[in-house]
Amino acid sequence: MKFSRRATAVLAATALGTTLLTGCSSQSGDSGGSGGAYTWWDPYPQHDPGSAWAKRVSACGDEAGVTINRTPYDTTALTNQALLAGQEGNAPDVILLDNPAVSTLAEAGMLSTMSEFGLDTARFDKNLIAAGELDGQTYGIPIGANTLALYYNRTVLDAAGVDPATIKDWASLNTALRKVKDSGKKAITFSAIGTEEGSFQFLPWFWGAGAQLTDLDSPQAVDALQLWTTWVKDGTAPNSVINNSQNTTWEEFLTGEFGFAENGTWQINSAEQAGFPTGIVQIPARDGGIAPTPTGGEFITVPVQKDAGRYEVTKKILECMTTPEGLVETGTTFAYYIPSTAEGQEAILAREPALQPWVDAVRTAKGRTSDNLGTRYPKISEALWTAVQKALSGSASPAEALAAAQAQARAATRG
């Protein structure tokens, strides 16, 4: 197998805005065949060696006949550490990456493609695996996905006379929000913070209006930002959304004062434990239907190895992690990832039928780096969240803010 290593590795690392860390782990054990040790990096420091996740990883090593030495990092440190390891030629056998980072490592030339690696990706949902694609090649496979929807407080909606089943487009959502507001409760909260979280939460409205990330100042994009701006100006949404993280937004919702909150699959357990009955509706597209929502979640990637003989065992590890049963186990371990294959989704629904709305949301979701945006996405996203901040704070109209964002993104991605 032949792989190229591009000189963009240093540039990609610099774009992350974080100093590279030192002290990479080195591979240990025999190469290829059975026995020996394989190295695995993931972004889950909260899962210690005795956790269900750590045991799951170890079990796949056992099945492949090797020991897995797992090292967890926080998300940003992991990407930086991986880039450094690639430059130094001592990358681990497997890296689990937040999906937007896959393009960064692929463009740096340190990942094998799945076709070169010999792994069939046809069984993975096309809309989910797209986040791991660059220039027509697939550089990783999703272990699952999470995404966004609108949680609602059933008690608040009942008192306001709102049937969530009637929410099919922006017009019907606005009608529901007015009813909640008129009943004396707060209508909706979301995260519009000036970080990736703000872009992540804005994208369903942006894409749901028909806008594209390559054209930030289109009329469709202006419609989406005008929607949010109007909500803040007329009190449908609180001013706090400008500084809200997704966790802060959720804390607001848990007060019981809000009809709706935009949030993700990862709040399923918390919603069940809220002091009021909850439900979800899909985020509607402007003119009807389900808006595409951005996918969150990690991809399993395989860094280029000097000893190609290691790939055979690595493939066995990946196959173990992504059987239908394996995807369900991963999904429930992280409460909840939706499996990334149709078989896995059916299997998790057999165990947890209440996840059907989330499975539906994931099936219509979209990767942030899809459309071959690759490493251009972070620069476009920064321009987008800056525009959202300007519009919601009143320092610029939606059209002005997005025109500036398009100019910023064009300049940042030129060349």
The confidence band for 415, taking pLDDT boundaries of 50, 70 and 90, is low
The confidence band for 151, taking pLDDT boundaries of 50, 70 and 90, is very high
Beta-sheet pairing, 258-264 with 186-189: parallel
What is the Cα–Cα distance from 306 to 303, expressed in whole angstroms?
10
The confidence band for 1, taking pLDDT boundaries of 50, 70 and 90, is very low
Note the pLDDT of residue 75: 83
What does the angle CA 60 – CA 64 – CA 66 come to, to the nearest 5 degrees? 95
The confidence band for 406, taking pLDDT boundaries of 50, 70 and 90, is very high
What is the Cα–Cα distance from 322 to 141, expressed in whole angstroms?
9
What is the Cα–Cα distance from 78 to 21, expressed in whole angstroms?
9
CA-nearest of 195, 283, 193 to 239 is 193
Q: At what angle do helices 311-321 and 324-333 cross, to 10 degrees?
A: 70
Q: Does an H or E element contain 201, and which?
A: helix 196-208
User: What's the length of the chain?
Assistant: 415
Contact yes or no for 138/113 (Cβ under 8 A): yes
Given a cut of 60, whether residue 171 has pLDDT beyond it is yes
Given a cut of 90, whether residue 335 has pLDDT beyond it is no
Q: Which amino acid is at 89?
A: G
For 330-380, give the DSSP string: HHHHTT-PBPSBHHHHHHHHHH-GGGHHHHHHHHT-B-TTTTTTGGGHHHH
Spell out the residues 6+ positions from residue 273 whose beta carbon is closer than 8 angstroms to its own. none
pTM of the model: 0.87
**Which residue has tokens 């606005």?**
174
Q: Does an H or E element contain 281, and which?
A: strand 278-281
Beta-sheet pairing, 148-153 with 258-264: antiparallel
**Is residue 83 exposed (0-12), middle (13-18) or buried (19+ Cβ within 10 Å)?**
buried
Query: pLDDT tens for residues 247-258?
Result: 999 999 999 999
- Which tokens sit at 79? 């990407």
Q: What is the spatial order of strands in the sheet that 67-72 belongs to?
A: 67-72, 37-42, 94-98, 298-301, 141-142
Phi/psi at 203 (nearest 5 deg)?
-55, -40
Given a cut of 50, whether residue 8 has pLDDT beyond it is no
More confident residue, 400 or 31: 400
Across the range 116-143, mean pLDDT stands at: 93
Note the pLDDT of residue 116: 87
Given a cut of 60, whether residue 12 has pLDDT beyond it is no
Query: pLDDT tens for residues 273-297?
Result: 999 999 999 999 999 999 999 999 9
Beta-sheet pairing, 94-98 with 137-138: unpaired
Across the range 224-235, mean pLDDT stands at: 98
The confidence band for 147, taking pLDDT boundaries of 50, 70 and 90, is very high
What does the angle CA 231 – CA 365 – CA 44 come to, to the nearest 5 degrees? 100
Helix (H/G/I), strand (E/B), else coil: 205:
helix
Query: pLDDT tens for residues 67-92?
Result: 999 999 988 899 999 999 998 989 99
Given a cut of 70, whether residue 263 has pLDDT beyond it is yes
Q: Which amino acid is at 139?
A: Y
Contact yes or no for 292/141 (Cβ under 8 A): no
Q: What is the spatial order of strands in the sheet that 186-189 belongs to?
A: 186-189, 258-264, 148-153, 278-281
Spell out the residues 6+ positions from residue 385 whose beta carbon is closer than 8 angstroms to its own. 192, 193, 194, 195, 196, 198, 199, 202
Contact yes or no for 112/121 (Cβ under 8 A): no
What is the Cα–Cα distance from 18 to 20, expressed in whole angstroms?
6
Note the pLDDT of residue 132: 93
What is the Cα–Cα distance from 398 to 221, expressed in whole angstroms?
9
Note the pLDDT of residue 332: 87
What is the Cα–Cα distance from 8 to 195, expressed in whole angstroms?
24
CB neighbours of residue 7 within 10 Å: 8
Which domains does the chain carry?
8-145+296-363 (3.40.190.10), 148-293+373-413 (3.40.190.10)
Note the pLDDT of residue 30: 38
